[in-house]
C-alpha cells in the first residue's frame, strides 16, 4: 500500500513539469545512450533538416528537450546576467577518480557513480570539497563553458535576494504582499504575507493538469511565452497580468504546496523594492563578485519579465561557485556576498510539519524555506532543485558542494530523488576518505 | 540638378533599411536629446507599461529602435559568440579631450566632435591611435560592456572568414557557388561564381520597396523572423529556403549592387566549407584570440541560421580590437589571426568602375570588396558599415581605428555619410597632432 502510494505520488509529480513533456513511466524511459544529442544530431547541418530541427512545436518533446536544456537562448528572448570584465576566480583542483566509487541504490543494489550519472541522463556534474574540484564530468555535449537550464534553481536565487533584502531592512517577511505590489489586491495574494510567498504556504488555486487545457498552468505558459497560445487565445500575455487572475484556494499559512507562481510574485517584490531587474541584481550581487567563468542568462516574457520560477541558464562550475559561497556562510574570498544571517536562517530551514502538506513523500523529513529545500539530515544538507534533474546540493558537514545538471525524460524529482540522495551521501563519504 | 540627383539617391537609400523604419527627411528628424532612451524610459518599471513597452509590433519604429539596438537579444532567439575564459586584453589609454575639436561639416560650417556625435544619434564611439584609446564616449545608455547591433558590419566578418578560407585553399573565388551549395542550382546563384558573391556583382532580382508587400524584402524579413509574417503567409520560413526562391536579374559581374542576400549565401558557403556555425568560427578565430571584454551574439532564424547580413551585436571596444588587428595586417599581440594577404587584398579593394553601378554617389570613388567598403583616399582607409550609423573605419596612414555605433532615425548611410567622412578626416588630423 505504501509502495502504491509512493507510485501514485510519483506519477502525479511526473506531470508537474513546466514543460508538457510526454508522461513517461520507468519502463518507457529511453536508454540514455540512445538519446545523446551528438548521436541524434539535433540542429546540425547547414541547414538542419527533418527530425534534426528543434523549434517551438517540438522543443518540449523528448529527446529534443536534451538539446533545448543547453541551448535555450536559441529558442527565444533572453536577458544577460553579466560576469563583468574581471578575471576568472580559479577553482583549485584536487581531482579524484570517483567514476567507479560504489554505493547502494534505493533497492539495495550496487551501482557506481558513473553508472548513476549515465542512468539519470546527466549532462554535467561538479563536486567541490573544501572549495576544490574533486570530480567533474560532462556528458551529452555538456561542457564547462555551456550554460544549462536550471529550472527551479532559479527560485532559490530569488529567495536569496529576498532574504538579503530582509536582512538589509528593505523588505519585511511580515508585511502584506500588497504593500509592495498593490496590483495583486484582487488576487490570491491580496491578503497574503511575504513569508507565505517565501515559504510557499500561501493558498493559491493553480492546477497543473496537463490533460486539461482549462488548467491554470496553460495560461501561465502562454503568459510566459513558453508555448505559443492557440489562435483564439484572449487571456493574459505577460506573467504579471497572469498573476493578477489567480484566486485564493484555501487558507494561507496552513501548509507548504509547491507553486511556481509564488516565485514569480517574489521576484516582482524584489524588483519593485530594489528598482532593478533580476538580471542586474544577479550580476551586481553575485556574478560580478564571484569571478564567474561565463555570463548566465534568463528567459523573459513579452515585456521583459524573467521566468522567475524557471528561466535561468548557467554553467555547472559557476553554480558550484554559488554553492561554495553559501557553504562559506555567504563569503567569497573573504568578501561578504550575502549576510551570514541569511545563510544561517536558510540552514535552519522551515516548518517540517507544514511541509507534509506537500505530499512529497520522496522528500520525507524536508522543509522548504526561502525557496530552498532543507534536507534536515545529520550533515545539515540543503538544496536548490529543478525539474529534469537539476540540483545544487550543499553538505556543510562534509564541506561538499555538488552540482548536477541533467536532461532526464521525467520532469519530477520524485522519479530519481531516492537514488540521488543515496548518491550524494556516497559522494560525501568519498570526499571524506 | 546634381543636388536633386543626390537628394533622390538619398531618399532611395532612406528606404533601404532592413527595418521598415518610417521614412524620414532631414526636416522631420526628432531632436536627438528628445529621443534618449533614459528619458523615454523604454522597458523600465515592473512591469513596463503603455508607451514604454517594446515588442514585435513596435520594435522597428522610432524612437523604439534606439532601445532595440542595444537590446536585440531580448526580442528574439540568439546564438552566443563566446570570448572564452582567458584574460581581457587591456587597451592602453592615451586619452585626449576631443569633444571640442573643431572641423568643417559638409556645408562648410564649423562643428565640434561632440556636436557631430550628438547630431548623428551616437550611442558609442571609440577612437584608437597606434592601438591606444585616445577618445571614448557613450550616449543614450550606451556602455562599454553593452553589445550593440552592428547590422551590415556582420557582412564584413563573413567576408573576412571567406577570404581567410580562400587563403587556406579551402575555398576558391573562381568556383561556382553550386559547387558548395547545390541547393541553389535553380536560383540566381545557379550560374554565379563565389567572387560575384564576395563583391556583390552577382545579378539578383531583389526589390527592397517597403511600400510594396510583394517586394522580396518582405519574404526575406519573414524568413529571418525579423518581422512576424501575416496570418495567411505560406512563403519560406528560413533564410536558406528563401534564398532558393530568388531569380537572376541581369548579368553577373557587370556592376556592384548592394544586396544583403549575397552575404547570406556567402555565410552558407563558409559554414558548408568549414562544417561550423558562424558563431563558432567567430569565437574560435577572433573572439577567443583577441582577449575580448564581452561575448558577442548573432540573431538567428527559426532553424538557427544567423542573419548573416545584419544580425551581430558586439561592444564598441571589442569591435575596435578587431579593427586594430586588421590595421596590424591580421596580427594581434604578435599572433597571426588572419593571413596578411587577406588584409593586403582588402586594402587594395575592388573594381571602382563596377562600384559606380551602385548609384551610391555619396560614396564616390569607393569600391566594395570581400564585403568591405574601400574609401580609396590618400590615407588608404577602408570600412565596415551598417544601417542606422554603424561604422568600423580603419585609417592605416593615420594609424587610427574608429568605431562609431549609432541609432540614427534614417537607416541609410547616404543621409550622414558626407559628414561622417569629414569627421573621420578631422579625427585623423587630431590624432596626428
Per residue in A6-56, pLDDT tens? 433 333 333 334 344 444 556 689 999 999 999 999 999 999 999 999 998
Residue B302 to residues A49, A223, B6: CA-CA distances in angstroms?
Answer: 11, 21, 39
Total number of residues shown for chain B? 433
Question: CA–CA separation, A133 vs A317, rounded Å?
Answer: 9
Output the pLDDT for position B284. Answer: 98
* B46 contacts A268? CB cut-off 8 A: yes
Residue ranges, chain B, pLDDT below 50: 1-23
Contacts of A48 in chain B (CB under 8 A): 303-304
According to DSSP, residue A193 is labeled B
Residue B183 Cα, gap to closest chain A Cα (Å): 11
Provide the shortest C-alpha distance from residue A216 to chain B (in Å). 21
- CA B366 vs CA B108, B305, B372, B373, B424: distances in Å: 22, 31, 10, 7, 16
Mean pLDDT across A214-233: 91
- The C-alpha cell that represents A244 in the structure block: 493578477
Chain B positions touching A89 (Cβ under 8 A) are: none
For the stretch A69-87, pLDDT in tens is: 999 999 999 999 999 989 9
Task: Decide: helix, strand or coil at residue B176.
Answer: strand
* Cβ contact, residue pair A272, B46, below 8 Å: yes
Q: What is the mean pLDDT of residues A201-223?
A: 90
Q: How far apart are CA B16 and CA B310, in angstroms?
A: 13
Q: How many CB pairs under 8 A join A and B?
A: 78
Residue B371 backbone zone (phi > 0: left; psi -120 to 50: alpha; other: beta): left
- pLDDT (0 to 100) of residue A22: 43
In this structure, are residues B330 and B342 in contact, taking their beta carbons and an 8 Å threshold? yes
Judged by CB atoms closer than 8 Å, whether chains meet at A79 and B85 is answered as: no
**Helix H or strand E segment including A219:** helix A216-224
Q: Which residues of B touch A43 (CB under 8 A)?
A: 303-304
User: Cis link prior to B63 (omega < 30° from 0)?
Assistant: yes
Contact A73 B73 (CB under 8 A): yes
Contact B47 A78 (CB under 8 A): no
Closest to B305 (Cβ–Cβ): which among A47, A55, A271? A47
CB contact under 8 A, B48 and A304: yes
Contact assignment for A46 to B75 by CB distance below 8 Å: no
Q: What is the mean predicted confidence (pLDDT) over A164-182? A: 98
- Confidence at residue B140, expressed as pLDDT on a 0 to 100 scale: 97
Q: Which three cell numbers stand for residue A22?
A: 510526454
Residue in A with minimal Cα distance to B87:
A87
Distances from the Cα of B319 to the Cαs of B139, B152, B156, B227, B288, in angstroms?
Answer: 17, 13, 12, 27, 13
Q: Does B334 touch chain A (CB under 8 A)?
A: no
Q: Is A305–B88 a contact, with Cβ atoms under 8 angstroms apart?
A: no
Q: Which of residues 261-280 of B touch A (CB under 8 A)?
A: 268, 271-272, 277
Nearest to B74 among A88, A240, A300 (CB): A300
Task: Tell me how close the Cα of A275 comes to any Cα of chain B, in angstroms.
Answer: 7
List the single residue in A46, A82, A304 with the smallest CB-CB distance to B271: A46
- Binary contact (A238, B47; C-beta < 8 A): yes
Q: Do A78 and B74 touch (CB under 8 A)?
A: yes
Contact A403, A384 (CB under 8 A): no
Interface of B with A in 296-315 (CB under 8 A): 300, 302-305
Residues 6 or more apart in contact with residue A316 via CB below 8 angstroms: A124, A125, A126, A136, A142, A144, A148, A403, A405
Contact between chains at B48 and A303 (C-beta distance less than 8 A): yes
User: Grid cell 573621420 — which residue?
Assistant: B424
Give the span between the Cα atoms of A333 and A324, in whole angstroms.
10
Average pLDDT, stretch A292-305?
A: 97
Q: Is the CB of A77 less than 8 angstroms away from the CB of B75?
A: yes
Whether residue B77 lies within 8 A of chain A, CB to CB, comes out as yes
Count the alpha carbons within 13 Å of B168 in the hemisphere toward its beta carbon. 13
Q: What is the mean pLDDT of chain A?
A: 93
Cβ pair B43:A87 closer than 8 A: no
**In this complex, do A293 and B43 lie within 8 Å of one another by their Cβ atoms?**
no
The answer, for A172 touching chain B at a CB cutoff of 8 Å, is no
Cα–Cα dist B353/B357, whole Å: 8
Residue among B43, B75, B300 whose CB faces A74 most closely:
B300
Among B339, B325, B334, B319, which residue's Cα sits nearest to residue B384?
B319
DSSP assignment, residue B89?
P
Between residues A44 and A231, which one has the greater pLDDT? A44
Kindly list the residues from chain A whose CB atom is less than 8 angstroms away from the CB atom of residue B294.
82, 85
Residues of A in contact with B268 (CB under 8 A): 46
- Can the peptide bond before residue A47 be classed as cis, meaning omega within 30 degrees of 0? yes
C-alpha cell at A139: 556528458
Partner-chain residue, chosen from B80, B145, B238, that has the shortest CB–CB distance to A47:
B238
Give the residue among A213, A304, A220 at the shortest CA–CA distance from A262. A220
Task: Kindly determine whether residue A88 and residue B85, on different chains, have CB atoms separated by under 8 Å.
Answer: yes
Residue among A79, A87, A268 whose CB faces B74 most closely: A79
Amino acid at each position: 500500500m505504501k509502495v502504491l502510494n509512493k507510485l501514485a505520488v510519483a506519477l502525479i509529480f511526473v506531470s508537474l513539469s513546466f514543460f508538457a513533456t510526454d508522461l513517461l513511466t520507468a519502463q518507457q524511459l529511453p536508454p540514455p545512450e540512445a538519446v545523446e544529442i551528438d548521436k541524434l544530431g539535433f540542429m546540425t547541418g547547414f541547414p538542419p533538416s527533418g527530425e534534426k530541427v528543434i523549434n517551438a512545436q517540438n522543443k518540449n518533446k523528448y529527446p529534443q528537450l536534451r538539446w533545448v536544456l543547453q541551448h535555450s537562448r536559441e529558442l527565444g528572448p533572453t536577458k544577460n546576467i553579466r560576469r563583468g570584465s574581471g578575471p576568472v576566480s580559479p577553482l583549485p583542483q584536487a581531482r579524484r577518480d570517483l567514476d567507479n566509487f560504489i554505493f547502494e541504490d534505493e533497492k539495495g543494489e550496487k551501482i557506481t557513480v558513473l553508472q548513476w550519472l549515465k542512468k539519470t541522463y546527466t549532462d554535467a556534474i561538479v563536486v567541490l570539497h573544501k572549495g576544490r574540484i574533486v570530480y567533474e564530468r560532462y556528458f551529452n555535449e555538456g561542457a564547462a563553458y555551456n550554460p544549462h537550464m536550471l529550472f527551479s534553481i532559479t527560485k532559490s536565487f530569488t529567495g536569496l535576494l529576498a532574504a538579503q533584502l530582509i536582512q538589509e531592512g528593505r523588505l519585511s517577511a511580515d508585511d502584506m504582499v500588497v504593500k509592495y505590489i498593490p496590483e495583486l489586491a484582487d488576487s490570491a495574494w491580496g491578503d497574503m504575507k511575504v513569508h507565505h510567498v517565501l515559504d510557499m504556504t500561501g493558498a493559491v488555486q493553480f492546477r497543473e493538469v496537463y490533460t486539461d487545457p482549462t488548467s491554470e498552468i496553460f495560461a501561465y505558459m502562454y503568459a510566459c511565452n513558453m508555448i505559443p497560445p492557440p489562435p483564439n487565445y484572449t487571456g493574459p500575455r505577460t506573467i504579471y497580468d497572469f498573476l493578477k487572475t489567480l484566486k485564493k484556494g484555501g487558507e494561507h499559512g496552513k501548509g507548504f504546496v509547491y507553486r511556481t507562481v509564488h516565485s514569480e510574485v517574489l521576484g516582482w517584490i524584489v524588483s519593485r523594492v530594489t528598482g532593478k531587474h533580476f538580471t542586474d541584481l544577479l550580476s551586481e550581487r553575485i556574478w560580478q563578485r564571484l569571478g564567474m567563468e561565463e555570463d548566465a542568462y534568463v528567459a523573459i516574457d513579452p515585456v521583459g519579465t524573467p521566468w522567475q520560477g524557471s528561466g535561468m541558464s548557467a554553467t555547472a562550475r559557476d553554480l558550484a561557485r554559488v554553492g561554495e559561497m553559501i557553504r562559506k556562510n555567504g563569503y567569497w574570498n573573504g568578501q561578504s556576498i550575502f549576510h551570514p544571517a541569511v545563510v544561517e536562517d536558510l540552514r535552519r530551514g522551515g516548518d517540517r510539519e507544514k511541509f507534509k502538506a506537500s505530499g512529497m513523500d520522496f522528500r520525507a523529513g524536508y522543509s522548504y524555506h526561502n525557496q530552498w529545500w532543507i534536507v534536515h539530515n545529520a550533515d545539515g544538507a540543503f538544496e536548490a532543485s529543478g525539474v529534469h534533474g537539476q540540483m545544487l546540493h550543499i553538505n556543510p558537514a562534509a564541506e561538499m558542494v555538488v552540482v548536477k545538471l541533467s536532461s532526464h525524460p521525467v520532469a519530477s524529482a520524485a522519479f530519481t530523488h531516492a537514488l540521488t540522495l543515496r548518491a550524494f551521501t556516497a559522494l560525501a563519504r568519498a570526499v571524506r576518505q
